[in-house]
Chain A
């Protein structure tokens, strides 16, 4: 090995980038070449010395002076507002259900499908007594949402949380209007849609 290559390997040695074989070749050269050995010793001493240099102590009043210069109220006080992936899924499912419900209720397309869909839903939800169902859904959703808002991580942060609250609020208003319209236009709630158009 020539000294030029050894010089290159010296840098790679301090980068911890030499393979075991290269390392043994490098040290073999150092044992034979006093010039490279001297260069290596000086550099090693310097770099190891730097690694162990002590930090300087900042003056005693250092922290106080900074705290005196900054405006502690620069960032307005606000509660952490974080979001969890679960709440997004919940909101999407909620929105899809509401949208589907509205679609089948008022759509002119295939009212029989709408009717069967509603009958299918009725197996799980007491839709006949729609007011109590509505209040149950809203109260349960509010509790779940409140719990989720508490557990939210910083992944999506504030804006998403606010967005979801708005979406859920709009969904609730939709449901309410829907119920009022149905009640105003017919005594029978689910007969395949388009009741109030009549």
Chain B
């Protein structure tokens, strides 16, 4: 249903109804912006990259092949831009801070604290991964794409995607372990004070 709607919108835009592009933006802005946010670590750059993604998509709509999923195509463009961004700037992303909005109205204060802390640790671990690992973790585990789709997005053979993702998981595990140990030391220190 969603895929059919994507094709329908694209066809109408190609036939001159440019105004309909806002519907495509509306449908994919969360996925694209979230990917850019996690790949850059700051709102300003994430917004620029996400907007650039949509502008590139608009200009390339006549080249889009409907045999492929639109979501795969748009994430491919966003991923390439994020990787280029890191190549150009060689940035060291900082952990995300209060930008992580976690809304749990019905949970208790303790639950919220635990949940938030846990998510925060995971976000920190993701941010500390090298770019080529981070993008794989996000595409596979967050966006739920298959190995085949990721290999198309990143232009890598499937075997390489698989091996790299396995290494990325190992790295993520080590980072999370380190972050947890670090935080438990801090908690112990705070308790002593």
Contact = CB atoms under 8 A, between A and B. Distances in A.
A43 B18 CA distance: 45
- Chain A interface extent, by class: 35 or more
A78 B176 CA distance: 55
A67 B22 contact: yes
Given A74-B18, A75-B15, A46 B119 contact: no
Query: Which has the most chain A C-beta neighbours within 10 Å: B50, B61, B141?
Result: B141
Interface stretch (A52-60, A134-142, A162-170, A183-191): A52-60
Interface in B73-101: 99-101
Given A66-B51, A72-B19, A58 B33 contact: yes
A151 to B, nearest CB: 15
A86 interface: no
Interface in A69-86: 69-80
B51 A80 contact: no
Nearest to A82: B11
B99 A56 contact: yes
Contacts of B59: 70, 74
Interface of A: 11, 14-15, 39, 42-43, 45-47, 49-51, 53-59, 62-63, 65-67, 69-80, 154
Interface of B: 11, 13-19, 21-22, 25-26, 29-31, 33-34, 37-38, 43, 46-47, 50-51, 54-55, 58-59, 61-62, 66, 99-103, 118-119, 122-123, 125-126, 137-138, 141-142, 144, 162, 166, 169, 172-173, 176-177, 180
Given A46-B172, A54-B102, A70-B58, 13 more contacts: A42-B180, A45-B122, A45-B176, A46-B176, A47-B169, A49-B118, A55-B33, A57-B30, A62-B33, A72-B19, A73-B16, A75-B18, A76-B16
